[in-house]
Structure 1
Amino acid sequence: MHLTRTTRCSVLLLSGALLLSACGSGDSSGTSGKSDAGGNAVSLDNCGQKVTVENPPKRAVSLNQGTTEIMLSLGLADRMVGTATWTDPVLKGLQKAGAKVPRLADNQPSFEKVLETEPDFVASSFASTLGKGGVAPREKFEELGVPTYLSPSDCQGKDNTGASDGERTRPLAMDSVYQEVLELARVFGVEERGRKLVTQLKNRVSKATSGIDAEDTTILYWFANQESPYMAGCCGAPGVVTNELGAKNVFDDTKQEWPQVSWETVADRNPDVLVIGDLVREQETAETAEKKIEFLESNAATKNMDAVKEKRYVLLSGQAMNPSIRTVEGVEKVAAALREYGLAG
């Protein structure tokens, strides 16, 4: 049954079975997106799928923090009925708007939990969230007439078929993030807000990198896990930060998004600076920066690394280390730290 804005249906859970029942018509959105065919419909080629949104969504669900913060930045809190999968506190300046949107789960919600919100649009930052083993494959939502959207940054130049976090076939660029902002703005009919946000982000990157020269500086990015740490490969969001600054990632010899490596290998690479994920979630060991630094300064393999002895740390939110609008925050904070440590030319 097609769950459009005019024929949106309630999903009831009875004895573990999903029953679809017809419900009344909804009103039209107060703001209309630019039409592809004279009406309100918007069609996109999204990660190999054609997505058509008949009317600007009024009951959107964002399954990852990255897409959530884009929507909130576009002023769409009143058109959202759920968010999920958080690694960090909501972006500064968006707390009031974020408080208006129900959090379905701190981590990954069930398919049924999402359907209970009666969504008319579902967006995700990662293919794994809208795939087997995630909330549900995109096809499951599409079968119910709910259009889905996947961040271009997780499919353009990226192979997600493996068991890990994927592998980049070409380096990520901020253009993929800007594309997501503009496409979501178009879907919701707020194109001008999208263009304004992209301009602001570009100006911040330009200001942060002005006059910087870090070609002789090596950086390591540690996202999570103490026993078998996830370190950034060459070409994801940390690669954007590194490339914008002209520096070198010590693990730029792997295209895996987040390879797991040994601490002996880390110590052998001996980077000048350690960029450390400061997460609030509780999925892995050593999620917070405090726990990570405590480990680095006590572990036999790492405590004698130059960056550890000199305490050359940069603390970043998890979202700044994922492809998102916060990757700009990553550029700014790493640039500022390199200047502070005298490593920026």
Structure 2
Amino acid sequence: MTFCHVRQRLLAVVSMTCAALALTGPSIAADFPYVDDNCGITNVYEKAPEHAVTLSNNATELMLALGLQDHMAGTSYMAALKISPQYSEAYNAVPVLSPLVATTEQLVDANADFVYAGYPDGFSESRHSRAQLQDLGMKTHLNPEGCNLGQFGFDGLFDEIRSIAGIFGVPERGDALIGAISERLDAIDAKLAGADAVPVFIFNGGESAPNAVLGNAMLSDVVKRAGGQNIFGDVDNRFGQVSWEQVADRNPEAIVVFYSGTAGGKVVTDPDGALGQARIDILKATPTIAGTDAIENGRFIPISSVLGQPGPSSIDAVERLARAFHPDVFAD
């Protein structure tokens, strides 16, 4: 996405064009072995994996953003959500093993030598733990937001980009991607200079009591970078249940409606409507928060997990939210 202002649009186009050239150009030979210390598990790579499988949409997008589709044996857990448009061509060249998390059998059939989850539910005892897959000869990696005990934001995302680029021996592609994202963040910072932060509730479902995105999640940093302030950003956790009374007391001016593509472990055919819009309907029908500024002014911004989970599309989420929080700043 680009800004309406001509100068900003040209900056974004030049930035992404340079990044695209860097990602598709010849790779600089990396130093192997590469040691990956990740969430308590260490793997040593003598060469780049050749049959990688991703277990979440943000892991898939990061692989594609680094131009690694030729190293991929499959993707999974996109459900009925759509890949970000800039990755659709590369995504269509990679087999989709499952709309849910790929099973152990599917990973074995794909001859997976690297299994990458961008979210903790990719690895679990009910499906397959990292230890189980490691015992089957598959190296594994988890986006560190999922095992991080503190706040996670763009600095953590940049470290993750460097890790995946290092595993696959393309550090220069990682640097180019980080540079492109950083330029876009800088452009947003410049536009928002002097703007007051907008109080924001990040709603993650629930009727009798709401589930909130709290201070340690990547999405909380995304909201901050977009000129907002998570009203539960002071809570030292990633996700958790709060009360409608707390939401009312903190009086958000805007509500980010966060949703994925599944419910109850099943694929939702129309996640934008059945989950995104349904959550907006819950908010509108809850009397306790009827007097908040966000409800009275109808300021709801849906963000699916494609943009809301930590990955290369996090910058797209920042740009979308910045325009929603500060429309006057971005008006032409």
Q: TM-score, normalised by structure 1?
A: 0.77
Instruction: State the partner residue of 1:6.
Output: none
In the alignment, structure 1 residue 71 sits paired with structure 2 residue 71: no
- In 1, Cα distance between the equivalents of 2:111 and 2:287? 53
Which of 175-184 and 215-224 deviates more?
A: 215-224
Question: After superposition, what is the alpha-carbon deviation per residue over 1:248-307, rounded to whole angstroms, capped at 9, x for unaligned?
Answer: 211123222111223343233220111112544344898532222222223323333221
Q: Do the aligned partners of 2:184 and 2:315 also contact (CA within 8 Å) in 1? A: yes
Structural mapping, 1:23-172, within 5 Å: 34-36=30-32, 41-86=33-78, 88-133=81-126, 135-156=127-148, 158=149, 170-172=150-152
Equivalent residue for 1:327, pick from 314, 317, 320? 314
- In 2, Cα distance between the equivalents of 1:304 and 1:103? 45
Instruction: State the partner residue of 2:238.
Output: 257
Q: Do the aligned partners of 2:226 and 2:319 also contact (CA within 8 Å) in 1? A: no
Equivalent residue for 1:293, pick from 269, 280, 294? 280
Structure 2: 5+ residue runs without aligned partners?
A: 1-25
Instruction: State the partner residue of 2:202.
Output: 221
- Amino acid across the alignment from 1:89: K
Equivalent residue for 1:230, pick from 199, 211, 224? 211
Structure 1: 5+ residue runs without aligned partners?
A: 1-29, 159-169
Instruction: State the partner residue of 1:183.
Output: 163
* 227 and 80 in structure 1: CA distance in 2 versus 1, 3 angstrom threshold: farther
- In 1, Cα distance between the equivalents of 2:228 and 2:68? 36
- State the SS of the aligned residue for 1:234: coil
Q: TM-score, normalised by structure 2?
A: 0.80
Cα root mean square deviation, aligned:
2.7
- In 1, Cα distance between the equivalents of 2:292 and 2:31? 57
Which of 52-61 and 122-131 deviates more?
A: 122-131
- State the SS of the aligned residue for 2:122: coil
- In 2, Cα distance between the equivalents of 1:211 and 1:97? 32
Equivalent residue for 1:316, pick from 303, 306, 310? 303
- State the SS of the aligned residue for 1:93: helix
Which of 268-277 and 211-220 deviates more?
A: 211-220
Instruction: State the partner residue of 2:326.
Output: 339
Q: Greater RCO between the two (CA within 8 Å, min separation 6)?
A: 2
Instruction: State the partner residue of 2:220.
Output: 239
- In 1, Cα distance between the equivalents of 2:212 and 2:330? 21
- Amino acid across the alignment from 1:34: A
- In 2, Cα distance between the equivalents of 1:230 and 1:105? 28
Instruction: State the partner residue of 1:302.
Output: 289
Q: Do the aligned partners of 1:32 and 1:56 also contact (CA within 8 Å) in 2? A: no
- For residue 52 of structure 1, report the CA deviation from its aligned partner: 1.2
- In 1, Cα distance between the equivalents of 2:329 and 2:92? 40
Instruction: State the partner residue of 1:272.
Output: 253
Structural mapping, 1:7-22, within 5 Å: none
Name the one with the larger helix percent: 2
- Amino acid across the alignment from 2:312: I
- For residue 242 of structure 1, report the CA deviation from its aligned partner: 3.4
- In 2, Cα distance between the equivalents of 1:175 and 1:327? 12
Q: Do the aligned partners of 2:31 and 2:169 also contact (CA within 8 Å) in 1? A: no
Instruction: State the partner residue of 2:177.
Output: 197
- In 2, Cα distance between the equivalents of 1:45 and 1:33? 21
- In 2, Cα distance between the equivalents of 1:128 and 1:109? 11
Structure of larger gyration radius: 1
Q: Do the aligned partners of 1:312 and 1:341 also contact (CA within 8 Å) in 2? A: no
Q: Do the aligned partners of 2:191 and 2:329 also contact (CA within 8 Å) in 1? A: no
- Amino acid across the alignment from 1:105: S
Question: After superposition, what is the alpha-carbon deviation per residue over 1:214-266, rounded to whole angstroms, capped at 9, x for unaligned?
Answer: 44521111133445432111121122123324542111232221112233432
* 200 and 342 in structure 1: CA distance in 2 versus 1, 3 angstrom threshold: closer
Q: Do the aligned partners of 1:32 and 1:55 also contact (CA within 8 Å) in 2? A: no
- In 1, Cα distance between the equivalents of 2:330 and 2:165? 38
- Amino acid across the alignment from 1:244: R
Count the aligned residue pairs: 298
